[in-house]
Structure 1
């Protein structure tokens, strides 16, 4: 099953792309809630390149690495990657009269409910949109 989340970002595609792909920016928005953060990010944005984002509870109780390998990179348009468990993710950046629509479509995992996955990914995407315009 695929899940899609979407957010509208009121900024230029250049700004949106930079904030999405540069580790120094990723660490500021890549968390689903205020009690989590992303203390480290590595991103080799090219086909065959890898990324690794450390996701950690702010109280230090738990952390994990979210990582994958890029399968497609079309600058300012689309990024596709696969996760270690084989799931696929596609991110599309679409210009609209009101800004850049960022959509993420991902293969659902089978541990958490569809709603929990959707709300978590949507929350991260919404935090991204707020960060870009700050």
Structure 2
């Protein structure tokens, strides 16, 4: 599994809300400034589905990122399986200086693990700036 992590200077409630509500997801969930989320839905419960559409700002490309939740603990943990079969685990740990968000995910085979880690870390860093 690949791991990315960031410390978010916010309450765990705020970090969780901004991470899970579609109206916030579309504002921070991108790896670079030339891409953006054009759509997000999130049914945060075991068996619930999520779907986000990522598109290049020049309109030349878009794709959906979607999956199903397999485990969930409010304000603490979410696990899901992406529709390509990969697994993701995201934990929210309350600390004195904020919330540590740790994402662990199965790599895909098309891109190097270093590139995947860089991309997922960039998304997490955008979340940190947004909150």
Which runs of structure 1 show a deviation greater than 4 angstroms over 4 or more consecutive aligned residues?
Answer: none
User: Counterparts of 1:124 and 1:83 in 2: how far apart (Å)?
Assistant: 17
- What residue is the counterpart of 2:20 in the other structure? 21
Write out per-residue CA displacement over residues 37-62 of structure 1, whole angstroms, 9 at most, x where no aligned residue: 00100101000000000001000000
Shift of 1:97: 1.3
Given the alignment of the two structures, is residue 31 of structure 1 paired with residue 10 of structure 2, yes or no?
no
CA RMSD of aligned residues (A): 0.5
After TM superposition, the structure 1 = structure 2 runs for residues 102-121 of structure 1, keeping only pairs within 5 Å, are 102-121=101-120
How much does 1:100 deviate? 0.0
Q: SS where residue 15 of structure 2 aligns?
A: helix
Find the counterpart in structure 2 of residue 60 from structure 1.
59
Residue 65 of structure 1 and its aligned partner are, at CA, apart by: 0.2
TM-score with structure 1 length normalisation? 0.97
Tell me the TM-score normalised to structure 2 length: 0.99
CA distance in 2, matches of 1:7, 1:58: 26
Output the CA distance in 1 between the equivalents of 2:117 and 2:64. Answer: 19
Structure 1 partner of 2:95:
96
Q: Distance in 2 between matches of 1:29 and 1:20?
A: 9
Distance 2:55 2:78 in 1: 24
Gaps of at least 5 residues in structure 1 are none
User: For 1:39 and 1:131, how far apart are their aligned partners in 2?
Assistant: 17
Q: How many residues align?
A: 131
SS in 2 for 1:56: strand
Deviation at 1:85, TM superposition (A): 1.4
Offset of residue 109 of structure 1: 0.4
